[in-house]
Amino acid sequence: MKAYIKHIAEYYPKYILSNDDFFNIFPELKQKKDTLLKVGVSNRYVVDKETTASDLAFFAAEKLFNESQIDKKEIDFLIFCSTEFDHYTPTTSAILQHRLNLSNNIGSVDIVSSCTGFIHSISHAKGLIEANDHKNVLLLCVSTLTKTFHKKDANSQFLFGDAATAILISNRKEEGIGKFIHGTDGGRSDYIMIRDGGARNELTTNSFLEDVNEYGNTTCNANFFMNGTGVFLFGLKTVPNIINNILRKNNISIEEIDYFVLHQANEFLLKALQKKLGIPDEKFIIHMQNTGNTVAATIPIALNCLMKTRNLKKGDKILIAAFGTGLTWGGTIIAY
């Protein structure tokens, strides 16, 4: 049997931060508005202090059960993919197994991964289904990254949003999820990082010293940091190779791909990649205007939009590719 994506459900926090709200918080950036808008975000959801990633994941999963009519008893593995957990231990997936009232006879695991999280996770789900006869894997890809931002970090607050997605990966006879390519370059692990507060660097008063970069953006070692130009260049130079490697691995030409769904990092980068790869607009999905970059959730959100709004035919080929923190990357081709 083959693994395929059967259903996707999305869940968002209630609070929406619009661009008007953003420029009220950062009025000094109004003069740079047209340039900032190139990242392609008008609204983004922001989680409140009390809500955790697992709360969002829970509601996304419940939504999936309501929409897809799958019985909870049929789920035989649970994957929680995020970088935000309820506790150091136990795993959040174990907590969610109980909260979602799933069977005790299932496996559950947390996958710690950011922008490449969806790719990492579905490659595991495919392995469970195709190598170990599992039938229905519930994958929860969630981000509450906004909780980690410095209050003066305008760039991150403009670009990112919070979201949860629940993805049902099931088995069928026909082709579904193809072969994967993966990559890692830990030599650039400091490109996207929260430096202090983990086991390596404990939080000290120095962790909270503000650092203003050359472009006037502020963060500190206790908060989220991203080397924007470094990550952009990584995307621009690496993604075309990733796509070529995915095509080669799956023995298919770029012309045979019906749709391309890349990690929705930012619209400016996506358009630069689209131009570089010569992909026509109707095949290239950009879907982040009202959600922002939602990290591990961007591909399922964009895929769901594709599945709901385009008249997809059985067997349509969709190339998916992600890249980000680590630095890591990966991708595959899925058959609708």
Partner 1 sequence: MISLEKFIAHIENELDDLEPGTLTANVNYRDLESWSSMYALIIIAFVDSEFDVTLTGDDLRNCNTITDLHQLVKNRS
Q: Is 298 helix (H, G, I), strand (E, B) or coil?
A: helix
Give the residues lining the site for partner 1 (CB under 8 A).
31-36, 38-39, 155, 213-217, 227-230, 232-233, 236-237, 268-269, 272, 275-276
The answer to whether residue 220 is catalytic is no
Q: In this complex, which beta carbon is closest to partner 1, that of residue 136 or of residue 156?
A: 156
The answer to whether residue 115 is catalytic is yes
Write down the catalytic residue from 120, 263, 266, 287.
263
Tokens of 307: 């599945």
Buried b (16+ CB within 10 A) or exposed e, 128-142: bbeeeebbbbbbbbb
Taking Cα atoms as reference points, which of 83, 143, 116, 113 lies closest to residue 291? 143
Write down the catalytic residue from 221, 250, 266, 293.
293
Phi, psi for residue 146 in degrees, rounded to 5: -60, -25
State the alpha helices, DSSP H only, in the chain.
19-25, 33-36, 53-68, 92-99, 117-132, 154-159, 228-249, 267-277, 298-309
The residues, ordered by sequence, that sit 6+ positions from 211 with a Cβ below 8 Å of its Cβ are 218, 219, 220, 221
Task: For the beta carbon of residue 221, count every other beta carbon within 10 angstroms.
Answer: 19
Q: Residue 31 CB, nearest distance to partner 1 (Å)?
A: 6
Task: For the beta carbon of residue 47, count every other beta carbon within 10 angstroms.
Answer: 25
Q: In this complex, which beta carbon is closest to partner 1, that of residue 36 or of residue 181?
A: 36
Q: Residue 117 CB, nearest distance to partner 1 (Å)?
A: 24
The answer to whether residue 120 is catalytic is no
Distance between CA 5 and CA 271 in Å, rounded?
26
Write down the catalytic residue from 115, 141, 220, 305.
115
Query: Could you tell me the sign of the dihedral formed by the alpha carbons of 50, 291, 314, 255, in that order?
Result: negative
Q: In this complex, which beta carbon is closest to partner 1, that of residue 186 or of residue 278?
A: 278
Q: In this complex, which beta carbon is closest to partner 1, that of residue 262 or of residue 269?
A: 269
Q: Residue 99 CB, nearest distance to partner 1 (Å)?
A: 40
Distance between CA 237 and CA 215 in Å, rounded?
23
Q: In this complex, which beta carbon is closest to partner 1, that of residue 91 or of residue 218?
A: 218
Q: Residue 22 CB, nearest distance to partner 1 (Å)?
A: 14
Q: Residue 236 CB, nearest distance to partner 1 (Å)?
A: 6
* Active-site residue set: 115, 263, 293
